[in-house]
Amino acid sequence: MTDIRFDGRTAVVTGAGTGLGRSHALGLAARGAHVVVNDLGAATDGTGSGSDAAHAVVAEIRAAGGSALANGADVADAAQVEAMVAEAVDTFGSVDILVNNAGILRDKSFAKMSDADFRKVVEVHLLGSVNCTRAVWPLMADRQYGRIVMTTSASGIYGNFGQSNYGAAKAGLVGLMNVLRLEGIRRNIHVNALAPTAATRMTEGLLEPEALELLRPETITPGLLALVSEAAPTGMILCAGAGCFAETRIYETAGVALSGAALSPEGVMAAMDRIRAPEGQQRLEDAFSQTRRFAAMAAAQCRGGGQ
């Protein structure tokens, strides 16, 4: 297999001062990319700021012979993001790759969570990714090339106690990816999602030392590099951790078509086992695929005269 390289490409990696972002930035630089190392320098809850971490990563990349630029933009501030992308273009000539990695945690049970904590997490994870993607999208469209990764999470896909804000934001990123992969495909913009399980500042207090060693960020970055390569898929949710990789897919069951007296709440409950049965489930290409499928099911049911 041909080596994956990024020579001549420019990548923006947000939240790249530590943890996963740092690992991604180093991985991209080691394979030839110019890297914009973005990091606000905040604590894990989003408070504070400082550029030391981003500059340290840049120094590490340059010491290894790579090319990098430090940037301290707050991804939740659209104006700062636009300025970051303009600086990247002025310095390196383009932006070809965007890794939306920046994030914070403000965990509490839903009943105890403040509105401010809910909004702030959504602003950083979801709207921060929107801001960064919006800033690079026209550049990628003009050049007919782009690779974008949203960082989602098992908390958004499957749920996790005490993370309603984080889970909502991470699930929202899957929805954003699903739409953008459709809008970007004609312009050769591939959009994917990475769902990592890593030992970072956000998880160090939750895992045993043995698990932390297995879940080093460096075991996840190979998956990220694959998702932003020229041959990358689009519309994929790649789950990664400890050198293990899997794909999460959203399926729709075959379902049932109800009419007459059966088209009632009682009828839906009576058919629940058939509605949830996995036999014949399929992955739909887009939202209208479901509309067409339901219309066809209903028409067939009317013709057959059954439930």
Same domain, 155 and 56: yes
- On the question of pLDDT at 69 being above 90, the answer is yes
Residue 64 belongs to a domain: yes
CATH number, domain at 143? 3.40.50.720
Q: Which of 248, 269, 287 is the last residue of a domain?
A: 248
- Which two tokens mark 71? 């940037």
Q: Summarize the confidence of residues 18-38 as an average pLDDT.
A: 97
Q: What is the pLDDT at residue 204?
A: 56
pLDDT of 133-177, one tens digit each? 999 999 999 999 999 999 999 999 999 999 999 999 999 999 999
Q: Based on the fold, state whether residues 238 and 281 are members of the same structural domain.
A: no
Residue 48 is predicted with a pLDDT of 57
Query: Domain check: are 54 and 195 in the same one?
Result: yes
pLDDT value of residue 51: 74
User: Among the three residues 248, 279, 296, which one is the final residue of a domain in this structure?
Assistant: 248
Looking at per-residue confidence, does 206 or 181 come out higher? 181
Range in 172-181, 196-205, 225-234, 243-252 with the lowest mean pLDDT: 196-205
Check residue 215 and give its pLDDT: 85
Q: Are residues 159 and 16 in the same domain?
A: yes
255 occurs within a structural domain: no
Verify that 96 and 205 share a domain, yes or no: yes
Predicted confidence (pLDDT) at residue 59 exceeds the cutoff of 60: yes
Looking at the 3D structure of the chain, how many domains does it have?
2
Residues 296 and 177 occupy one common structural domain = no
Shared domain for 243 and 265, answered yes or no, is no
Report d(CA 34, CA 97) in Å as an integer: 10
Q: Give tens-digit pLDDT for 29-50.
A: 999 999 999 999 866 756 655 6
Same domain, residue pair 115 and 17: yes
Same domain, 17 and 88: yes
Specify if 254 maps to a domain: no
278 and 202 in a common domain: no
Mean pLDDT of 102-106: 95
pLDDT of residue 50: 63
When pLDDT is cut at 50, 70 and 90, the band that residue 1 belongs to is confident
Residue 76 inside a domain? The answer is: yes
Task: Give residue 298's domain range.
Answer: 260-304
Q: Under a CB-based contact definition with an 8 Å cutoff, are residues 126 and 134 in contact?
A: no
The answer as to whether 2 is a domain residue is no
pLDDT at residue 207, as a whole number: 61
Quote the pLDDT of residue 43.
63
Looking at the domain assignment, is residue 1 inside a domain? Answer: no
pTM listed for this prediction: 0.92
Same domain membership, residue 142 and residue 81: yes
pLDDT at site 41: 84
- Is residue 234, in this structure, part of any structural domain at all? yes
Q: What share of the chain in percent tops pLDDT 90?
A: 86
Is the same domain home to 194 and 295? no
Give the catalytic positions in this structure.
Answer: 166
Predicted pLDDT at 84: 98
Structural domain includes residue 161 = yes
